[in-house]
Amino acid sequence: MSRHRDVRSMEYSNYIDTYDDLSEDSMEEDYAVSPSVQQFIYDRNKEGAITSFFNHLDNEDNKVVCDVVYDEAALKICRDAIGDLLVDIISESELKKRIYKFNYNVEAVINSVLNEPNEGLRSYNLSDFIAGNNPSPEELPEKMKPTVKVVPTTSKNIVKGFDVSVTENVNNLTIQSESPCVVRNQELKSKADSNRKKKGQASTVNLLQMLWYCTIKGKLRSELPITLENSEQPRVKEKRDALAIYKSKRESCKENLSLIMVGHVDAGKSTILGRLLYDLGQVPDKVFHKNQEESKKIGKQSFVYAWVLDLSEEERERGITMDIGQSKFETDNKIITLIDSPGHKDFVPNVIMGVAQADVAFLVVDATTGEFETGFESGGQTREHTLLLRALGVTQLAVIINKLDTVNWSEQRFKKIVMDMADYLKQVGFKEPIRYVPCSGLSGVNIVENVKDIEKFSWYNGPTLVEVIDGFKSPERPVDKPLRFSVNDIFKNAGFGFSIYGHMETGMVSVGDKILVLPSNETAIVKGIQMDDNNVTHAFAGDQVSLILANNYQEKLAIGHIICDPQFPVPVTNRFQAHIACFNINKILTIGMPVVLHQQSLVEPAIISRIMAEINKSTGEPLKKAPRYLAKNMNAIVQITTERPICVELQKDSRQIGRITLRIDGLTIAAGLITKIE
Amino acid sequence: MKLVGKYVDKKGEGDIVLVPENTEDMWHIYNLIVEGDYVTCSTIRKVQLESKTGSSNNFRVRTTLTIIVENIDFDTQACVLRIKGKNITENKYVKNGAYHTLDIEQNRKFTLKKSLWDSVNLERIDTACDPTQNSDIAAVVMQEGIAHVCLISSNMTIVRAKIDQVIPRKRKGSASQHEKGLNRFYESIMQGILKHVNFDVVKCIILASPGFVKDQFMNYMIQQAVKSENKLILENKSKFILTHSSSGFKHSLREVLTEPSVISLISDTKAAGEVKILETFYTMLQTDSSRVFYGKNHVLAACNAKAIETLLISDKLFRCQDVALRKEYIHLVETVKKSNGDVKIFSSMHISGEQLDLLTGVAAILRFPMPELEEDGSMEN
């Protein structure tokens, strides 16, 4: 098959991890046949460097092999890094000598040259040269230490020729190449308190790999100098810890916010979203025109906006949304991910999935006489969706009162609905102030602009829909927590390969990262990350991204699986305890009750295996131990057993993965928080 | 099942000769035989004979053996029953006390001897031998990506095929992958039905799903059948019934079986009856919780007060190894019957029975409210 491979455009970094799997020893064997024995040959060019040469030998013993390879390439890197800056000041051979002396530490070399008292160049501001890769202040003194003439023989500085700081440098210099080993280094760095020596070794291997790869690809020569040049300009600082990377990547951008539309069937969720996207110019005219024609053909002209998000044949034919649809647009301050959800009772599982990914929500109600009431009745979705929002931790909410044109823009009707909703929402427990926005999705009034020429609507002068969206606050992103990514969709991405789409719960992921999929216990490598069809290098908590994986895991992955950092795996169990609150629904829970468990995008049959205790709603004190049953509105601690093991996390550790929703016979009967993993 | 002979004395000791006829009967037999019973059956035994010169000869002989049951093994998927025990009728091939495993085969008679035939056992034989009891239906519960093809007979629900596939979602700009995935999924269900459902036997095939999956599947199946000229499906088109269920998991069969349109078709099926009673139990728990009890201690207390109107009990409890415990349950059933109560023995092979099993296996609807007991019945198990 090799002739089918496009070798030229092959991404070596995709394969690099395979080599990582080999043990360190075998690594070294590979390199034993390295191109040079320069190590052992005295080079006259290294004027007077014979001392350092011997020093080298003395310290090398068994790790010599590494050094041989390292020597050439690293020398080149350092030489290139220093560039022509110092050539004017000192001779080429002197420079080389210094590079050896300072273990390829670029700063140290530069420092040593610039600090040379007789050079008289002190006036140079150091940071001008090394802004891109300067060490943090507290590390600096340590690195400056080796400015003494004779290279110290203590293992600390010389050990195997690799001071940790070296890799740090390389790390910085090559960060743009996104090679996996670099990323791995970052990981290692972030665990800075761990054994320093061990860390150094690991980095060594990674560095070697990288060098080896680069050499194969010729990448090093072609690319490194460029990156190095960049690094000398004061550009954005790259640090190893996730928070800093997040800051650097995202600080300049607008905030991300995902927004879900919920509400009863036919309240006009999709239409409002479609209209919004159309008015903002997000829908190509060609597509819109096509939709217009087609909807006219089957006599459903009013669905033309909804079709922007309802893409499948089935949805269009029936005129309802069945699965969550997503789209993106930008407001003045934010990038908004829109999630459209189905309003039909049968598709509540999809709504749960959508809400789990959302930060804020729009609750759409139909102002038409009778329609609002049906949606608001106990069987209506307005109530169920509201409860779901609350149960899944969405706190910011705005109510859209749609189709106000059908009631002649009546202010009274609007006020009545606002009163009803406000009462209910307060009762459910929404604390943050809630905005009420009147609009008409189909005619586009008060979506992007408030059309002033409708006389009857002149009573309203509040914000438009877009302004409301802009007013939402972005929640805090737990970027510094371990990686959790919930799989929402598995598909083949044309031109990229096997991809999984989902929601970043916590942490960050970068291209080249090794990830662990649980509960199927598969490791995979992230080959690429896509965000709205754009390739990116990092994804952070709160993002909705596609991860392109290096291999096909079609059989081993399922929707609802969690992807995590192999070093911090998410707990997997099939039995756990949860604190649940039963909704106001006429269903009784006893032990043995088969329920459908929803957690993030996971849907799994489960059984209530024990009812531990009933709990006082407000105080949280246990009322009764092991009650026989749970009726509506009761709070309790229960033990839940699933058929297959699932990923769970305590609620305190993860906002989303720690939340569950229980459904029976198509009704959401309870929602809860995971309190104990058994 | 055919009853060939019944020789039970007044004390309840004796033997019964039976001929199982279908897989359902295997389930009945599994429930009848307990450790310590004597089973006589024709079987094949591998015999090794050693000649005087030391060479050995292997051959298989058909012989009739009686064994004391030590272990019973029921394979729910294949419906095969294996009984292991020590031989007690010595013949020239098999020594006394030698271990043998009998396979109970369909249409081959066997004799079961018990030291005590209790009322539950005898009743089971009656029901098993009643030919009108038989009615098979097939049901497919599905949702996007998950489907279960089940066969429901009066005493068993067997999942024949479980289909679990990932269907890509609709994506921005195209839904083609989604549709492709759906078709693949429907194809798998259709193959499952063709493979596992015997259209001559089943009365109807219920297709249940939330939303429109069932309709879409039905369309797909008919289209495919027309394309490939599959007569089997086209001829039996009228046997397919579409109904609603909230999910594609096995336990939503319960919803399917309470659907009025389905009940009218399968009214004589034990499965539907069980589901209905359990539903009544739950409704009662909700409306008048002091009139329902569950858990052994609670139910026994209610029985002592002669309060039980309907007793719901899982057949799993009768299969227990502990003779004393089994007697206790038999006694409970008999007392309830004596006091004109209704006893429903749930098959633990049905979903409702499974649920009852988890609910301690025994529950009761009472004639009059009783105060809740102090000690805890729900904590046992």
Q: What is the pLDDT of residues A144-162, one digit of tens each?
A: 444 444 444 443 444 444 4
Q: How far apart are CA A560 and CA A656, in angstroms?
A: 12
Residues 6+ apart with CB under 8 A from A635: A579, A580, A581, A582, A614, A615, A616, A617
Q: In the prediction, which pLDDT does B223 show? A: 92
For the segment B338-374, what is each residue's pLDDT rounded down to a tens digit? Answer: 888 899 889 888 888 888 988 888 999 999 888 877 6
Give chain A's length.
Answer: 678
* Contact (Cβ atoms closer than 8 angstroms) between residue A250 and residue A540: yes
Task: Specify which residues A522 forms β-bridges with.
Answer: A517
Long-range contacts formed by A549-555: CB under 8 A, 24+ apart:
A549/A497, A549/A498, A549/A499, A549/A500, A549/A524, A549/A525, A550/A14, A550/A15, A550/A17, A550/A524, A550/A525, A550/A526, A551/A498, A551/A524, A551/A525, A552/A497, A552/A498, A553/A498, A553/A517, A553/A522, A553/A524, A554/A490, A554/A498, A554/B166
Kindly tell me if the per-residue pLDDT of A197 is higher than 80. no
What count of other Cβ atoms lies within 10 Å of the Cβ of residue A329?
18
Residue B249, chain A, CB below 8 Å: the answer is: yes
Instruction: Please give the class, per CATH, of domain A484-564.
Output: mainly beta
* Inter-chain residue contact A591 with B378, CB threshold 8 Å: yes
Cα A273 to Cα A48, A465, B231, distances in angstroms: 75, 10, 47
Could you tell me which CATH class the domain B136-268 is placed in? alpha beta
Query: For residue A59, which of A167, A169, A165, A151 has the smallest C-alpha distance?
Result: A151
In this structure, of A240-254, A471-485, B4-18, the range with the lowest mean pLDDT score is A240-254
Determine contact, residues B3/B17, Cβ cutoff 8 Å: yes
Backbone φ, ψ for residue A452 (5° rounding): -80, -15
Higher pLDDT, A592 or A15: A592
- CA separation for the pair A358, A336 (Å, rounded): 10
Residues in Cβ contact with A47 at an 8 Å cutoff, skipping those fewer than 6 apart:
A93, A94, A97
Indicate the angle between helix axes B323-338 and B296-304, nearest 10 degrees: 40
Query: Cα–Cα distance between A506 and A356 in angstroms, integer?
Result: 13
Beta strand pairing status for A594-599 and A534-536? unpaired
Residue B216 touches partner A, C-beta closer than 8 Å: yes
Q: Which chain B residue is nearest to residue A561, measuring alpha carbons? A: B166
Read off the tokens for A178: 């996104």
**A594–B contact, CB cutoff 8 A:** yes
Average the pLDDT over each of A98-112, A494-508, A553-567, B257-271 and give the range with the smallest value.
Answer: A98-112
The CATH number of the structural domain formed by B271-366 is 3.30.1330.30
Contact A663 B246 (CB under 8 A): yes
Chains A & B: contacts with CB separation below 8 Å: 117
CATH class for domain A255-471? alpha beta
Q: For residue B372, give how far its alpha carbon lies from the nearest alpha carbon of chain A (Å).
A: 10
Q: How far is CA B11 from the centre of its chain?
A: 30
Domain locations in chain B? 2-133, 136-268, 271-366
pLDDT, tens only, A268-314: 888 888 888 888 888 888 888 888 888 888 887 888 888 888 877 77
Q: Tell me, what's the pLDDT at A64?
A: 39
CA–CA dist A504, A514 (Å, integer)? 16
Q: Which of A594, A605, A627 shows the shortest C-beta gap to B355?
A: A594
Task: Classify A98 as helix, strand or coil.
Answer: helix
Q: Is the pLDDT of residue B12 over 70?
A: yes
Q: CA gyration radius for chain B?
A: 25
**Which pLDDT belongs to residue A293?**
87
* For range A533-540, the mean pLDDT: 84
CB A279 within 8 A of CB A446: no
* B247/A666 touch (CB, cutoff 8 Å), yes or no: yes
Q: Measure in Å the smallest separation between the Cα of A159 and chain B Cα atoms.
A: 51
How far is residue B34's CA from residue B317's CA, in Å, rounded to a whole number?
Answer: 12
pLDDT at B39 over 90: yes
Q: Does domain B2-133 have CATH number 3.40.50.300?
A: no
User: CB neighbours of A119 closer than 8 A, spacing ≥ 6?
Assistant: A89, A113
Share in percent of chain B as helix, strand, coil (round to 5): 35, 30, 30
Residue A518 phi/psi, 5-degree rounding, is -120, 150
Euclidean distance between CA atoms B137 and B129, whole angstroms: 20
* Mean pLDDT confidence for B25-33: 88
Which residues face B209 on adjacent strands?
A: B244
What is residue A321's predicted lDDT score, i.e. its pLDDT? 84
Judge whether residue A440 has pLDDT over 90. no
Nearest CA to B146 among B112, B176, B188, B106? B188
Q: Is the pLDDT of residue A651 over 60?
A: yes
- A87 pLDDT band (50/70/90 cuts)? low
Span of A14-23, A407-416, A619-628, B171-180 with lowest mean pLDDT: A14-23
Higher pLDDT, A215 or B18: B18
**What pLDDT score was predicted for residue A126?**
42
Of A378-387, A506-515, A587-596, B128-137, the least confident = B128-137
A349: nearest CA partner in chain B? B247
Q: Which residue of B has its CA nearest to A586?
A: B286
Show Cβ contacts of residue A485 under 8 Å, excluding neighbours closer than 6 positions: A502, A503, A504, A505, A509, A515, A547, A562, A563, A564
What confidence score (pLDDT) does residue A665 get? 85
Q: Which long-range contacts (CB under 8 A, 24 or more apart) does B99-105 make?
A: B100/B43, B100/B45, B100/B65, B100/B67, B102/B39, B102/B41, B102/B43, B102/B65, B102/B67, B103/B43, B104/B20, B104/B26, B104/B29, B104/B41, B105/B20
pLDDT, tens digit, 9 for 90 and up, residues B180-221:
889 999 999 999 999 888 888 888 899 999 888 899 999 999
A255-471 with A484-564: one CATH topology?
A: no
DSSP helix/strand/coil, A410? coil
Question: Would you mind telling me the total number of residues written for chain B in this entry?
Answer: 381
Query: Smallest Cβ distance to A326: which of B172, B244, B372?
Result: B172
- Please name the residue of chain A whose CA is at the shortest distance from the CA of residue B210: A346
pLDDT for res B260: 82
Minimum CA–CA partner of A494 in chain B:
B177
- CB contact set of A559 (below 8 Å; sequence gap of 6+): A487, A488, A489, A490, A601, A602, A603, B145, B166
Question: For residue A557, what is the nearest residue in chain B, using CA coordinates?
Answer: B166
* Cβ within 8 Å of B, A 602-621: 603, 605, 607, 609, 611
Dist. CA A457–CA A53, nearest whole Å: 87
- Name B334's bridge partners: none
Does B249 contact A605 at a Cβ distance shorter than 8 Å? Answer: yes
Model confidence band, residue A178 (pLDDT cutoffs 50, 70, 90) = very low
Does A69 score more than 70 pLDDT?
no
| Pairwise CA distance, residues A380 & A366, whole Å | 12
Q: Give the distance, in angstroms, between the CA of residue A176 and the centroid of all CA atoms in the same chain.
A: 19
Angle CA(A223)–CA(A227)–CA(A230) in degrees, nearest 5?
150
DSSP state of B155: S
Distance between B212 CA and the closest CA of chain A, angstroms: 9
**If we measure between CA atoms, which residue out of B126, B45, B30, B111 comes closest to residue B78?**
B30
How far is it, in rounded angstroms, from Cα B2 to Cα B13?
20
B294 interface with A at CB cutoff 8 Å = yes
The DSSP symbol for A332 reads: S
Contact B358/A at CB under 8 A: yes
Tell me the three state secondary structure of residue A465.
helix
**Distance (Å, rounded) from C-alpha A626 to C-alpha B379?**
7
Q: Does A311 reach chain B within 8 Å, measured CB to CB?
A: yes
Q: Which helix (H) or strand (E) holds A497?
A: strand A497-506
Query: Hey, what amino acid is at A176?
Result: Q
Higher pLDDT, A494 or B122: B122
pLDDT value at residue A231 = 38
Average pLDDT in the B251-262 region? 85
Distance, first Cα to last Cα, chain A:
48
The B residues from 119 to 148 touching A (CB cutoff 8 Å) are: 143, 145
Residues 482-511 of A with CB under 8 A from B: 488-492, 501
Point out which residues pair with A668 in neighbouring strands.
A663
With CA atoms as reference, the chain B residue closest to A587 would be B286
Q: Rounded mean pLDDT of chain A?
A: 72
pLDDT at A215 over 50: no
- Are A164 and A199 in contact by the 8 Å Cβ rule? The answer is yes
A76-85, A509-518, A663-672, B350-359: least confident range? A76-85
Average pLDDT of chain B to the nearest whole number: 86
What tens digit of pLDDT does each residue of B321-343 get?
777 888 888 899 989 988 888 99
Task: Assess contact for A398 and A362: CB atoms under 8 A.
Answer: yes
B254 vs A contacts (CB less than 8 Å)? 594
DSSP letter string, A593-624: -EEEEEETTEEEEEEEEEEEEEE-TTT--EEE
Confidence band for A512, pLDDT divided at 50, 70 and 90:
confident
Select, from the ranges A320-324, A571-575, B270-274, the one with the highest average predicted confidence (pLDDT): A571-575
- How is residue B349 written in tokens? 């092979």
> Which of B378, B379, B380, B381 is the best residue to mutate to test the A interface, defined by the most A CB atoms within 10 Å of its own CB?
B378
- Contact between B211 and A326 using a beta-carbon 8 Å cutoff: no
Residue A392 near residue A291 (C-beta atoms within 8 A): no
Q: How do the domains of chain A map onto residue ranges?
A: 2-240, 255-471, 484-564, 572-677
Distances (CA, A) of B160 to A244, A500, B69, B82, B198: 54, 31, 30, 21, 12
Could you tell me if the ipTM is greater than 0.85?
A: no
Check whether domain A572-677 has CATH 3.30.60.50, yes or no: no
Q: Is A663 on the interface with B (CB under 8 A)?
A: yes
Whether pLDDT at A165 is above 50: no
> pLDDT tens across A462-503, in order?
888 888 888 888 888 888 888 889 998 888 877 788 888 888
**Distance, CA of A142 to CA of A147 (rounded, Å):** 10
B162 in contact with A, Cβ within 8 Å? no
What's the confidence (pLDDT) of residue A373?
Answer: 86
The per-residue pLDDT for A446 is 83
